[in-house]
Every structure is written in C-alpha cells, then in structure tokens.
Chain A
C-alpha cells in the first residue's frame, strides 16, 4: 500500500455485542481493525449475519460500540474540538498518578512473592511427600501472586495508553501542567476556529441566497475567503501549540512510572497512540450530529427510507431544514440542483415516492446523502434491490459522484460481481471477524482464505457449456453468533481445517503487501499485523 494515501477512518479492535438475555450475547463484531483511505471505494462482503451491516452502523455510531475505537481523520482535533478532549487533557495527571500507583502495588506484590519463591526452592531440594504437598500449596499461592502482579502491571500500562491517546509519550513527562496548559491553549484556538466556521456558514447562507436570486455577490465571496483564512489561521495556531508541547517536552524529564518508561522504543510506541483524528465513539450526541454532515448512509430499500406522504423535494429539503438555516427559496433551489445532479428532473421535486421507480427512488436517497459537505458514505446493499440494468446506472452515478466530490465509500454488499468492479479494496467478513482484506484484483486472482475461495466458487458464472464445479460447495450454514465456534470461526465448514484451527483463533497477518488474511495456513509470516 502506498504511503501517500491518507487514512480517513481507522478502526481499532472494534467490538460490538448485542445483549440477548443475561449472560448471552450476539457477538456481531470481534476485534475488527483496519483503515479506510480517503477517496477509496471500500467494499465489504460476506454472508448474511457476518456483521457487515452492523459494522457500517457502528462506524456511523448508529449503534454504540462495545469496545474499541473508531477514529475519523476527516477532521483533525485542531479543526474540531470535541468535549471529550478537554476532559481527557484534564484527566492526564490522574492517568499518570494511577499508573504509578498500579505499578507500585505490583512491586509490592512482587516483594511478597519473593520469599515464597525462596521457600519453594528450599522445599524442592528436600522432596519428601509431605514437603511436596506443602510445596504445591505454596506454588499455587505464588502463581496467584504472580498473576496479580501481572494484572497490576497491565493496569498501569493501560492507564498510560489511555493518556497517550491525547498527548502521546508526553504522558510520561514530569512537566505535565505545562503541557496541559499548551494543550488547553490549542483547544481555545480550535474553539475560535469553530466560531469562525459559524461566521463562515452565515456568509455562505447569504452568498447562496444571492446566487439563487441571480445576483452573485463578489464582496461576499471575498468575505468568505477572509473567513476561511481566519479558520485556517486558528487551526494552524492550535496545531502549533501542540507541536510546541512536543518539541519542548518530548523525552525530557521522563518520570520512572514503570520499568519501561525510559525505553525509547516504548516512548515511540506511546507516540504512535497519539490520535490526530476524532474518536467517534466519544463524541456527544450533538457533536456526532455535526459530524453527520460529513458521514452519511444510503440504505438498501429506497422506498423504506422515504416518507410516502412527503414529496421527494420536501424529503431532500429536510436535510437543509435540520442542518442549515438557509431560507426557503435557497433550500428549494439547492434541492432542485441536487435532483438534476443525480439524474432526475427538477419537476420531480413535486412528485411523491410511489410515482418513482426503484432506481429513481434510490437516486433520491443518494441526493439526500450528498446534500451537505459529505465525505464518507456507508452504502448498505444500496444496489441489491435494483434490477441489473438500473443497478448499472446507479453504480455509474456513484462512480461519477465519488470522482467529483472526492467521496469515500464504505460499500456493503453480498454481490461479488459488483464489488469486484466497483471497489478498490475488499474486506471479507465471517461471523463478525475479518477473514481477508486485499485490493480487489488481488482478492479475485489470488484468494488466500479458504472462505474467500469457496465464496468465489459459489458465485453463479455467466458461462455455459462447462460442468459447474461442485468442488468448493460449502456444506452447512453459518453458525450462530451467540455461540461462535472456538478457535477459527470458519473451522466448522472449512475443507482445510487443521488441529490448531479448532483451538486458536488465527491473527490477521499481512501475507503480501496490502493483502491481509486471518488463517493458520499462513502462520509463517506472523510479524506484522495491521494495528
């Protein structure tokens, strides 16, 4: 994968469990980690129940995630200042304190364990039956203590990891108050940027009004440019404060919180945890609503996502009513322009959903999704309900829009033909787990995971005259996500199942550059997993 591609969205060990009843959960997503690049068409395939729709919805925070993080880089923390960040900055000393406490406790436990160890050694030297018994009891106590010490050390590094999300390795510094002050200053600048953005929106409204009335205002445009520069200025200032914090304090006066803190490698690791993006799961409701200007969804059944009692125009216009304060004529004009953009006519503003065909309704759905400054769209089986000829039209439209507006698609489907030709990279999922992730040509020419192979073999081909192979026909059904199989989730249906597959879950491994697979067949190259 080339380096210059910008990551737009990063999922880190995303988990989603749905509670069924006490102690029983549907494990819809299990430790899903991958990145989506800006401007790419990212496809997700899998059978029903594999968690692909859940994944799309968790990304948009329509379902809260159980654990893990979903980090959006479309806006940096310099541009947007969510409330959780200020809280995190305030909590930094607490993280540091807690980490120290946990580590000290672990040392205490270690000290308790030490004499035990010596006694055991002494006992094992004798070796009569009574002493062996005693030794076993002591051994049990010792392993308990060792386990506790280990847990405490883990707790300590967990605290540091939490802190490092906000300030990287600076969490280890003695001068935390000074760092906090710099970060607070940065946040003030971001707040100023947000205020400037509001001003910009107001100007934009006036500009749109003038444009709709047919009297484009040059002065306004200049003012808008000025406002834009102001926003950029604040953003840069905010960025500079953070940079200053790093330049001044990184590697200086490192506190000996744990035994690893002096290790430059560990510090670098903490630096890598530093998030420049926005952690979507931590946003408040209103902040997430603000984010939805950029992150949208298009559903499978266009009829169900439109109000049958509202004209198409009104349905689209609602987006502007809710998110902007454009006056009515501006809203109407913008809606009509949108209708034209998605291949409908201006007259369709007045028609009702029942009068449109399936393809036209889907076009309305698309218009709604791109009405604001959209950058990221989740398409959940958006072309599956359409007839082939119309499906091709919609795919073409989506292609055009992505080029024109630099949209990033998260394309969920079960149709392998469609993903192959529409998507740049494809993720194959099975029972909430990542099976394989690769560029689309690599996935189709050299599928690595046995599940991908059988999935490809099951696709009905447009070829006649040859015996259709029944070699890869999968037996049985997808197991229940409430009681997923132990080890590799696919082992119950896999033709290449080995002994290890029933015990251990295979990690996601980068088998070839940009080609990730989770399968024990490819264990040899285990080093790199996509974080």
Chain B
C-alpha cells in the first residue's frame, strides 16, 4: 500500500438554481495513492467535473460543498480558509483542463506563464525558474524549449499547448494532478502522444493522478483503478482489470456495450435506453432504475448501498448484491 495522497469521503455538493438547492454529488467517496492513476468515468452531467472543482475549491458561486471531507496528504481541506486553499493550489495540487487555449493566457509568452507559477509557489529566482521551466518543457518532449519559451500560445498546435500545460503543472511537483478530459479535444494520434507522456511522467514524479474522461478506451490505456459515476453517485469502483473483465453494475455493462469497439468485427450497436437524468429530477431509490432493464420495486424505493464484491471491487446495485449474498 502506497501513501494516500487524496481521500474523499461522502462528498455532497449542491448547486442553487433559483431558490432551490439541488444535490449534484450525492455522497461520493474514493482515494488515490502515490503513483496511481484513478480514472473517473461517466456521461456529461454525472458530476465528474463538479468533483474536481470541489477538490480544487473552484466551484462557481452558486455551488458549495455541503458535507463530507476531502483530505490532501492527510490534511482536511474543507475546513481551511479560502486563503489557505489558495496556497495549496498549483503547489500541492495542479489541474489540466480540456481546452488548453482557454487555460493559457493568449497575451503572455509561454516562458512568462511557466515561470510565474514557479516563482510564486516555490519562491524560485528568475533564473532558477527559467532553468526549471526549460527542463520541464524538455521532459514533456518539446523540441527546442528555449525557443518555445519565447512564443505565444497561438503559435503552438493543440498537442503542444497541452504539453505546455502539463509541463507547467508538473514543474511544481504537485502530489496530486487533476486532469479533466485533457485529451478530448485532441486528435487520436496526438492523444496517444499525450497519454504516453502522462504515463511516463507519473513514474518520474511520484504523483497521484485523478483522470476524468468519458472515453473508455482512454481509461484502458491509462488507469490503474476506475470509478464510475452516475448522476452524482458512484455506481462501481475497481481495478482496471476487474472493471473491464468483469463489469457488474448494469450501467457499466451498458456503457461497455455502447462503445463501438475497433477490435470487434460484428459489433451490434446497443444503446442504453432512455436519457440521462437532469440534476433537478427527483428519482427515488437507485438513480439508474428508469433506464435499467433489471429494475425491481426495491430499486425504485431504496438507495443501494456500496458492497465489496471482491477485494477492491465495489458495486452499488441491489441485483448484484442479491446475486452475491
């Protein structure tokens, strides 16, 4: 067992819409160890991004963490003041976003943006920061880093921008890296380059990575463990082998069947019927039951509890629970 970098327990986050508060996260728990990549999978609106924003304390004004705990290296975050949280961001935890162009300042050179964080968070001198920035640009596989430092974001391609973002975040050697769909906007060939890079960096710098994606193929490529979210609740958690060889929750199974698999020849497209629920919708019991082919009366009324089917493999489903009793 490695050191636990992040522990999230029963996290509940709500958003205020009009005069009502709606639960977006309904009690999510997970943890990440050093040198581990945890992939969080789910459809849009399931609460993946809200989880990361809750951890980073970057929720919009109408959202707030209501209860639960978030511990970074054993330190409780939810009770810290905004100022103290601010000191942690960028230093102990860094984040990469989906669209690097919106995360980079178009008016400043790459060098200026890279050294700013290093000087601010790590108190480096101008020269030290420059050296570190160049060495990290080299590490992420950018040729002639010296020249790149003088360029502006618009002069770089999408793949290079994302590399710069990664270098920027990793240069501070954070213990936790949150990557929110970092490869979704990239082409497959560039995506592959970035995934290979992230896998290598994880080994170099002992960082825990929380990787958000909706692409199960990417998960297979990068994850050590996977958690699957559905409408603000965790439905399944397990090692990558367990999830792919033995998915148990009907939603996980449905997702696997819906992805057009390149390696299969006669693939029959099997969608999950129905639509993803809105957060404002009241659904009793298991949130998935309106779309679940196995739904029973119990599913409609009782929220399924988390059950450990095999070591490290957790499922929240009445059907699976009954079968394994």
Contact = CB atoms under 8 A, between A and B. Distances in A.
Given A416-B262, A417-B259, A477-B159, A462 B217 contact: yes
Contacts, number: 130
- Of B188, B258, B259, B261, chain A has the most CB atoms within 10 Å of the CB of B188
B59 interface: no
Given A390-B276, A417-B262, A461 B221 contact: yes
Contact of A387 (B191, B263, B276): B276
Contacts of A358: 44
- Interface bin, chain A: 35 or more
Contacts of B159: 477
Given A357-B276, A458-B188, A465-B241, A418 B260 contact: yes
Given A399-B269, A468-B221, A474-B189, A462 B160 contact: no
Contact of B191 (A388, A391, A395, A460): A460
Given A47-B187, A421-B269, A462-B216, A391 B262 contact: no
Nearest to B254: A389
Interface in A100-154: none
A441 interface: yes
Contact of A390 (B158, B190, B267, B271): B271
- Of A359, A396, A457, A468, chain B has the most CB atoms within 10 Å of the CB of A468
B241 A389 contact: no
Contact of B262 (A47, A360, A396, A461): A461
A37 interface: no
A1 interface: no
For chain A, what secondary structure do more than half of its interface residues adopt (helix, strand, loop), or is it mixed? Answer: helix
Contact of A414 (B188, B240, B275): B188
Contacts of B254: 389
B258 A459 contact: no
A463 B220 CA distance: 6
B218 A460 contact: yes
A464 interface: yes
B39 to A, nearest CB: 12
Interface string A452-479: 0011111111111100101001100110
Contacts of A396: 269, 271
Interface in B237-268: 240-241, 244-245, 254-256, 258-263, 265, 267
Nearest to B251: A389
Contacts of A421: 260, 267, 269
Contact of A388 (B157, B188, B245, B255): B255
B262 A456 contact: yes
Contacts of A395: 260, 269, 271
Interface in B100-129: none
A465 B241 CA distance: 7
Interface in A465-495: 465, 468, 470, 473-474, 477-478
B193 interface: yes
Contact of A459 (B244, B262, B272, B276): B262
A48 interface: yes
For chain B, what secondary structure do more than half of its interface residues adopt (helix, strand, loop), or is it mixed? Answer: helix
Contacts of A294: none
Nearest to B219: A460
B190 to A, nearest CB: 7
A258 interface: no
Nearest to B199: A468
Interface in B59-94: none
- Of A48, A391, A444, A464, chain B has the most CB atoms within 10 Å of the CB of A464
A460 B219 CA distance: 8
A393 B189 contact: no
A392 interface: yes
A383 B91 CA distance: 38
Contacts of B189: 47, 454-455, 458, 473-474
Nearest to B278: A357
B188 A416 contact: yes
Contact of B216 (A388, A393, A422, A441): A388
B10 interface: no
A48 B196 CA distance: 20
- Of B158, B189, B218, B270, chain A has the most CB atoms within 10 Å of the CB of B189
Contacts of B245: 464
B43 interface: yes
A462 B220 contact: yes
B255 A455 contact: no
Nearest to A459: B262
B259 A388 contact: yes
A390 B196 CA distance: 29
A415 interface: yes
B3 interface: no
B4 interface: no
B272 to A, nearest CB: 4
B155 to A, nearest CB: 12
A95 B196 CA distance: 60
A48 B265 CA distance: 26
B220 A389 contact: no
A199 interface: no
A250 interface: no
B215 interface: yes
19 contacts: A47-B188, A48-B187, A387-B276, A388-B255, A389-B255, A414-B187, A414-B188, A420-B260, A420-B267, A422-B269, A441-B265, A460-B191, A460-B218, A462-B216, A463-B220, A464-B220, A464-B241, A474-B193, A478-B157
Interface of A: 47-48, 357-360, 387-393, 395-396, 399, 414-418, 420-422, 441, 444, 454-465, 468, 470, 473-474, 477-478
Closest CB pairs A-B (n = 5) = A460-B217, A392-B271, A417-B260, A387-B43, A389-B272
